[in-house]
Structure 1
Amino acid sequence: MLNKNSIWKVLSALIVVAMCALYALPNIYGEDHAVQISAGRDAVVTQSMVEQVKTALAEKSITPKRIEFENDQILVRVSDSDTQLIARETLERLLGDDYFVAMNLAPDTPEWLESLGGTPMKLGLDLRGGVHFLMEVDMSEVITKSLEDAESGFRTSLRGEEIRYRGVKQVGNHIDITFRDEDALDKAKFFLRNQSRDLTFDEVGELTLRATFAESKLQEIRDNAVKQNITIIRNRVNQLGVAEPLVQKQGADRIVVQLPGIQDTARAKEILNATATLEFRMLDPKNDVRDALNGRVPPGSQIIEDQQGVPQLLEKRIMLTGSHIIDANSGVDEYGLPNVNISLDSEGGNKMSRSTRGNIGKPMATVFIEYKATGERNKEDKLIFEKEEQVISVATIRAQLGSKFQITGLDSPKEARDLALLLRAGALIAPIQIVEERTVGPSLGKENIELGTQAIVYGLLAVLAFMLVYYKAFGIVANVALVTNLVMIVGIMSMIPGATLTLPGMAGIVLTVGMAVDANVLIFERIREELRDGRSPQQAIHHGYDSAFSTILDANITTFIAGLILFAVGTGPIKGFSITLMIGIATSMFTAILVTRVIVNAVYGGKRLEKLAI
Structure 2
Amino acid sequence: MLRLAPWKVASILAVTFLAVLLLVPSFLGTATVDRLEKLLPSFLPVRPIVLGLDLQGGASLLWEVDSAALTHAQVETLRDDVRGKLREGRISLSGGIAVLPRGVQVRIADAAERAKALPLLRALDQPISNAIIGTAGHMLDITDVGDGSVQLLLTDAAINDKIRRAVTQSIEVLNRRLNESGTKEVNIQQQGVDRILVEVPGLQDTTEVKKLVGATANLEFRLVADPGDPPNEVDNLPQQQGGQIPVQKRVMVAGEDLTNAQTGFDQNSQPDVNFTFNLRGGQRFGQVTSENVQRRFAIVLDGKVISAPVIQTPITGGRGQITGNFTVQEADNLSVLLRAGALPAKLTVVEERTVGPGLGQDSIDAGKRAAIVGGVLVVCYMLATYGIFGVFADVALAVHILFIFASMALIGATLTLPGIAGVVFTIGMAVDSNVLIYERIREEAHMGRSIISALDAGFKRAFATIIDSNVTMFVAAVILYLFGSGPVRGFAVSLGLGILTSVVTAVTMTRMMIALWYRYKRPTKLPI
Q: Give the TM-score normalised by the residue count of structure 2.
A: 0.67
What is the alpha-carbon distance in structure 2 between the residues aligned to residue 343 and residue 168 of structure 1?
42
Q: How much does 1:271 deviate?
A: 5.3
User: Which residue in 1 is equivalent to 2:11?
Assistant: 15
What is the letter of the counterpart of residue 231 of structure 1?
Answer: E
Partner Cα separation in structure 2 for residue 524 and residue 324 of structure 1: 58
- Quick check: 1:538–1:609 contact (8 Å CA) kept in 2? no
- Indicate conservation of the 8 Å contact 1:181/1:207, yes or no: yes
Measured after TM superposition, the shift of residue 139 of structure 1 is: 3.3
Kindly indicate whether residue 57 of structure 2 is the aligned counterpart of residue 28 of structure 1.
Answer: no
Q: Does 174-183 or 438-447 show the bigger shift?
A: 438-447
Mapped to 1, the partners of 2:16 and 2:46 lie a distance apart of 10
In the TM superposition, 1:151-170 aligns within 5 A as 151-159=79-87, 162-165=90-93, 166-170=95-99
1:29-54 CA distances to partner (integer Å, 9 max, x unpaired)?
A: 434355xxxxxxxxxxxxxxxxxxxx
Counterpart amino acid of residue 476 in structure 2: A
Report if the CA contact (8 A) 2:204-2:354 is conserved. Answer: no
Aligned to 1:478: 393
Q: Of residues 62, 71, 74 in structure 2, which corresponds to 1:146?
A: 74
Rounded Cα–Cα distance in structure 2 between residues aligned with 1:16 and 1:178: 82
The residue correspondences of 1:190-201 to structure 2 (distance < 5 A) are 190-194=119-123, 197-198=126-127, 199-200=139-140, 201=142
Give the match for residue 555 of structure 1: 469
CA shift for structure 1 position 579: 0.5
Structure 1 residues 216-365: aligned runs within 5 Å: 217-237=158-178, 243-266=184-207, 268-269=209-210, 272=213
State the AA in 1 paired with 2:375. Answer: L
Matches within 5 A, 1:428-577: 428-441=343-356, 455-497=370-412, 499-577=413-491
2-structure distance, mates of 1:23, 1:607: 29
Q: CA RMSD in A?
A: 5.0
Distance change (3 Å), C-alpha of 1:197 and 1:598: same
Structure-2 separation of matches of 1:207 and 1:13: 91
For 2:342 and 2:75, the matched residues in 1 are separated by 18
Local SS of the residue matching 1:259: strand
Rounded to whole Å, the distance in 1 between the matches of 2:183 and 2:424 is 26
> Is contact 1:21–1:487 with CA below 8 Å preserved after alignment?
no
Three-state SS of the structure 1 residue aligned to 2:96 is: strand
| Inter-partner Cα distance in structure 2 for 1:602 and 1:128 | 43
Letter in 2 for 1:15: S
Structure 1's 276 and 600: CA in aligned 2 closer, same or farther, altered over 3 A? closer
Distance 1:544 1:127 in 2: 42
Residue 176 of structure 1 deviates from its aligned partner by: 2.0
Contact 1:4–1:605 (Cα < 8 Å) also in 2: no
Cα deviation, residue 471, structure 1: 0.1
Q: Secondary structure at the match of 2:527?
A: coil
Give the deviation of 1:182 after TM superposition: 3.2
**Structure with more strand by fraction:** 1
Alpha-carbon offset, residue 179 of structure 1:
2.3
Cα distance between partner residues in 1 of 2:350 and 2:109? 48
The code of the aligned residue for 1:470 comes to T
Matches within 5 A, 1:94-173: 106=34, 111-112=39-40, 116-159=44-87, 162-165=90-93, 166-173=95-102
Superposed, 1:28-67 pairs within 5 Å as 28-29=24-25, 30-33=27-30
With over 3 angstroms needed to count, the CA separation of the structure-2 counterparts of 1:554 and 1:26, relative to structure 1, is closer
- Does the C-alpha gap of structure 1 residues 429 and 106 become closer, same or farther in structure 2, counting only changes over 3 Å? same
Counterpart of 2:151 (choices 188, 197, 210) is 210
Tell me what 1:613 maps to: 527
Taking a change above 3 Å as real, the CA distance of residues 127 and 237 of structure 1, as seen in their structure-2 partners, is: same
Q: Per-residue displacement from partner, 1:517-538 (whole Å, max 9, x unpaired)?
A: 0111122122223333444333
Q: Which runs of 5+ in 2 are unaligned?
A: 128-138, 221-237, 239-248, 263-274, 285-299, 306-317, 319-324
Task: Tell me the distance in 1 between the aligned counterparts of 2:349 and 2:526.
Answer: 67
Contact 2:109–2:149 (CA<8 Å) still a contact in 1?
no
C-alpha spacing 1:597/1:413, structure 2 compared with 1 (3 Å): closer
Alpha-carbon contact 1:137-1:432 (below 8 Å) kept: yes
Native 8 Å contact 1:531 1:540 kept in 2: yes
C-alpha spacing 1:242/1:566, structure 2 compared with 1 (3 Å): closer
Task: Tell me how far apart the structure 1 counterparts of residues 472 and 369 of structure 2 sit (CA, whole Å).
Answer: 29
Q: Name the amino acid aligned to 1:153.
A: D
What does 1:386-397 correspond to in 2, within 5 Å? none
* Residue 184 to residue 23, structure 1, CA distance change in 2 (3 Å): farther
1:129 and 1:13 mapped to 2: Cα distance?
42
SS for the counterpart of 2:146 is coil
Q: Is the contact made by 1:484 and 1:591 (CA closer than 8 Å) also made in structure 2?
A: yes
Which residue in 2 is equivalent to 1:588? 502
C-alpha distance in structure 2 between counterparts of 1:443 and 1:156, whole Å: 54
Paired with 1:12 and 1:161, the residues of 2 have a C-alpha distance of 80
Rounded to whole Å, the distance in 2 between the matches of 1:141 and 1:28 is 49
Aligned residue for 1:568, secondary structure, equals helix
CA deviation digits over 1:418-471, x for unaligned, max 9? Answer: 997998565543343444444135899999877755554443333222212210
Is the CA contact (8 Å cut-off) linking 1:24 and 1:490 kept in structure 2? no
1:174 partner letter:
G
Residue identity over aligned pairs, in percent, reads: 35
Does the aligned pair in 2 maintain the 1:325–1:343 contact within 8 Å? Answer: no
- 3-state SS of the aligned residue for 1:167? coil
Distance across 1 between alignment mates of 2:523 and 2:334? 70
The change in CA–CA distance for 1:504 and 1:443 in structure 2 (over 3 A counts) is closer
Whether the aligned pair in 1 keeps the contact of 2:59 and 2:355 (CA below 8 Å) is yes
In 2, Cα distance between equivalents of 1:258 and 1:137: 17
Deviation of 1:235 after TM superposition, in Å, equals 4.8
Question: Which residue matches 1:72?
Answer: none
CA distance in 1, matches of 2:459, 2:359: 45
1:211 corresponds to which letter in structure 2?
Answer: L
Q: For residue 5 of structure 1, what is the aligned residue in structure 2?
A: 3
- Cα deviation for residue 253 of structure 1 reads 2.7
CA distance in 2, matches of 1:609, 1:158: 97
Tell me the distance in 1 between the aligned counterparts of 2:489 and 2:151. 49
Contact kept in structure 1, 2:418 and 2:491, CA below 8 Å? yes
Partner of 1:598: 512
CA displacement, residues 356-383 of structure 1 (integer Å, 9 cap, x when unaligned):
xxxxxxxxxx998xxxxxxxxxxxxxxx
Number of paired residues?
442
Distance (Å, rounded) in 2 between the aligned partners of 1:589 and 1:203: 75
Q: What residue ranges of structure 1 are gaps of 5+ in the alignment?
A: 35-76, 78-104, 280-305, 307-317, 330-341, 351-365, 369-390, 394-402, 404-411
CA contact (8 A) 1:123 1:500 kept: yes
**TM-score, normalised with respect to structure 1:** 0.59
Q: Deviations 1:113-151 (Å, cap 9, x if unpaired)?
A: 876334332332333432022333343432332222221
Q: Does the C-alpha gap of structure 1 residues 168 and 449 become closer, same or farther in structure 2, counting only changes over 3 Å?
A: same
The 1:443/1:168 distance shift into structure 2, 3 A limit, reads closer
